[in-house]
């Protein structure tokens, strides 16, 4: 009986691993060859930017399932921050991640710098550039994520952690752009506004 249960458990674990691998590969293939995430939203750049760079709306599309805290209401400005408390697995709390606003060009560009991450002893940094380009009645949003911290890990060919983490952050960026598009195009029910700190 124990052999049968053990065999079923091994088969289950292998199936989960295979599904996760192909799911990750499929999501990675949805990125552009340079690793950027791109979506086209049926709205003007001004309307897209109003949701992308606003402290009141980031909770509606950013980091689904996580707790989001912003410093103020209204449009984001240089120096503002967005704190994300990641949902922990099996009840374990994860260290928060904070995105700091470093550049804002209304209706064109939002640049955020991330600090924090899963290892409190080794803070991870990354830069996220969201560029908006008008396309007739629609807007292309191109999200480019780079990280000097992860690039140093990627240079060590025996360490695949850097590649995996960077891929996961880029996939998260793509998922968030899809959420933003769905929110603007009214395909989603609204999520609660972020908490103020």
32-75 confidence digits (pLDDT tens):
677 889 999 999 999 999 999 998 888 888 877 678 888 778 99
Q: Are residues 56 and 122 in the same domain?
A: yes
Residues 2 and 60 in one domain: no
Task: State how far the alpha carbon of 103 is from the alpha carbons of 49, 148, 155, 183, 194, in Å.
Answer: 13, 18, 29, 24, 21
Mean of per-residue pLDDT scores for the chain:
77
Q: What is the mean pLDDT of residues 8-25?
A: 56
Which pLDDT belongs to residue 171?
Answer: 85
78 and 161 in a common domain: yes
Number of compact structural domains in the chain: 2
* pTM listed for this prediction: 0.72
In this structure, are 39 and 10 located in the same domain? no
- Widest pairwise Cα distance in the chain: 65
Q: What's the domain range around 183? A: 35-196
């Amino acid at each position: 009986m124990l052999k049968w249960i053990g065999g079923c458990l091994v088969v289950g674990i292998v199936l989960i691993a295979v599904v996760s691998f192909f799911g990750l590969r499929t999501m990675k293939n949805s990125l552009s060859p340079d690793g950027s995430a791109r979506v086209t939203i049926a709205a003007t750049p001004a309307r897209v930017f109003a949701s992308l760079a606003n402290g009141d709306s980031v909770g509606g599309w950013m980091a689904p399932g996580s707790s989001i805290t912003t410093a103020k209401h209204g449009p984001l400005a240089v120096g503002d921050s967005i704190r994300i408390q990641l949902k922990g697995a099996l009840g374990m709390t994860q260290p928060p991640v904070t995105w700091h606003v470093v550049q804002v060009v209304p209706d064109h560009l939002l640049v955020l710098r991330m600090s924090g991450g899963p290892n409190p002893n080794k803070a991870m940094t990354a830069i996220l550039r969201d560029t908006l380009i008008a396309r007739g009645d629609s807007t292309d949003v191109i999200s480019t994520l780079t990280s000097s911290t992860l690039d140093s890990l990627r240079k060590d060919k025996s360490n695949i952690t850097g590649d995996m983490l960077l891929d996961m952050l880029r996939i998260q960026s793509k998922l968030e752009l899809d959420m933003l598009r769905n929110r603007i195009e009214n395909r989603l029910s609204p999520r609660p506004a972020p908490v103020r700190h």
